[in-house]
Every structure is written in structure tokens, then in C-alpha cells.
Structure 1
């Protein structure tokens, strides 16, 4: 897998966390950089761990599906991409458009951030499963996903007030398109190698 593909996967995996961070930043009165970095570290660590877990599960099944592993990677990445696009196209509930003023500390409690980070990283576990069937160093991919998420969440919280209405769920749509393109690229590379 090329370095560009790994970077694109890292960016795609961080888009849903970015969208969640924008929402958190928009709900806060004045996000501070240390709070945004703390959230980025929590999200990034979780987002880096979940593909490792998925990869381990996928490796356990790899010998049974070696002949069609590229199709599994293509199907999983494509399905995740479509799911992210659909989620990004769904209208937000009316009451979510205008967040109620809340205490900023509530948005930065460790368990609240960890639960949100886990919810946005489920797709990274599925990507880890699909990568188990490919010749890729999972440690590098997990590190790139974690670093991209750290950066995107930190930026998302800091820019949340300004970007909340502008970007919102569009980030998920972009991430979904990237995953579909990466999955198609994997399938294309394998089929070209076979031909």
C-alpha cells in the first residue's frame, strides 16, 4: 500500500471525529488549546487502537479467505464509505442546530470524550479488518490514523464555533468518498497484478 493511500485512510478515518469535534467546539463558549489537545489525544489514541484490534481479528481469519481478500477489503471500505456518505447527507435534528449553552467542562470530561471517540472509531476497526488481508504494516497505518485524528479533533474543537454551521456533516461525506476511492484502488491494484 502506498504512503498516499495510508495518508488518505488516516484522513478518512479522522473525518467523523473531526465532525464530532466541530460539534463539541460549537457547543463550547471559548474552547482553549489545552482542552482541544487533550480531546485530540483521547480521540487519537482510541482511533489508533481500534484498527489494531480489527487487524488482529482479520489476521485470525486471513488464511481462510486468501483467494478473495482484495474483494473483502474493497467491500468493507466501500460499505463504510457509503455509510459515511449517507450519515453525512441525513439532516440534523432541529434541536441540534442550536446547542444549548452548557458548562464547557461537561464537554471535556474524560469519559464523555472517550465514549465519543469510541463511537467515531468503530469504522477504523473495520478498516483494520480489511487491512489484515493486505501487505501493509498495521503499526504505521494505526499511527497515521491516530495522528490525523489528533490533529483533526484539535482543529475541529478550536474551529468549532466558526465551522459548525459551515462544515458540519460534509466532512463525513468527504471521508466516505475517500474510503470508496481507496477501496477501489486496492481492488484495481490487485486485479492488475493478477492480469
Structure 2
């Protein structure tokens, strides 16, 4: 669905797609750096209800649809892109878990700042 929707939007964003990607990534990174400075220790935990799970499922679906939109901005076959995305997700997830287990508590809130900078 996202892939076909992206085909229709491609002509609208063709001229400034690199700036759009830059602004989105810059905004996410800036928010991560900002949040790394807020040392709110009293974070409330919420119960995981059906309503929360439904909202998370909708958010995940919207994220996947946005990823489908971006596939049209690149000159690559969708099957190849899915394989590359899956492979890189597996590798980087493994590396992230390994780094997290090695860093322990010495990295703490600096990890979020590092993620925002990257």
C-alpha cells in the first residue's frame, strides 16, 4: 500500500526529497539529544492493555507505510530493498544488543545523545 502510494507522491517531492529527508532526520536527532538532557527518573509505567496494543499496531503500520513511500524515491527493486532492509536490521540489532551488553551502566543517558548525533 505504501509503495503504491509513494508512486503517486513521487512527482510532488522529486525536487526536494533530499531536503525533506534531511529535515526529518535532523528533527529526530535533535529530539533525541534534547531528551538525553532531561534526567526524569520518575518515569511512570503504564499497563499494557488492548487499547495500547491497538494504538501501537496502528503506529507500526503507519511507519511501515511511510517506509513503503520512500521505496519509490530510490531506484531499486522492492524485493531487493526488502532483503537489504531485513539483513541490515538483523545485523544492526545483533550489534546493538552486543554493544548494550558491553557498555553496561557506564554509558547510561549518553547513549541517547550519541544516537541523536549519529
**Is TM-score (shorter-chain normalized) higher than 0.5?**
yes
> 2: CA distance between counterparts of 1:123 and 1:156?
29
Match of 1:163 in 2: 107
Match of 2:69 in 1: 129
Match of 1:74 in 2: 18
Q: Does 1:59 align with 2:8?
A: no
Match of 2:86 in 1: 143
Q: Does 1:90 align with 2:30?
A: no
Unaligned runs of 5+ in 2: 44-52
- Structure of higher RCO (CA pairs closer than 8 Å, 6+ residues apart): 2
Compared CA separation, residues 72 and 140, structure 1 to 2 (3 A): farther
Q: How does 1:1-195 map to 2 (within 5 A)?
A: 56-62=1-7, 64-71=8-15, 73-91=17-35, 92-96=37-41, 125=64, 126-136=66-76, 137-158=80-101, 159-174=103-118
Compared CA separation, residues 132 and 93, structure 1 to 2 (3 A): same
Q: Which runs of 4+ in 1 moved over 4 A?
A: 121-124
Task: Please give the root-mean-square deviation of Cα atoms over the aligned residues, in Å.
Answer: 4.3
Unaligned runs of 5+ in 1: 1-55, 100-113, 175-195
User: Matched residue pairs, number?
Assistant: 106
Q: Secondary structure, in 3 states, of the residue corresponding to 2:111? A: coil
Q: Secondary structure, in 3 states, of the residue corresponding to 1:142? A: helix
> 2: CA distance between counterparts of 1:79 and 1:122?
22
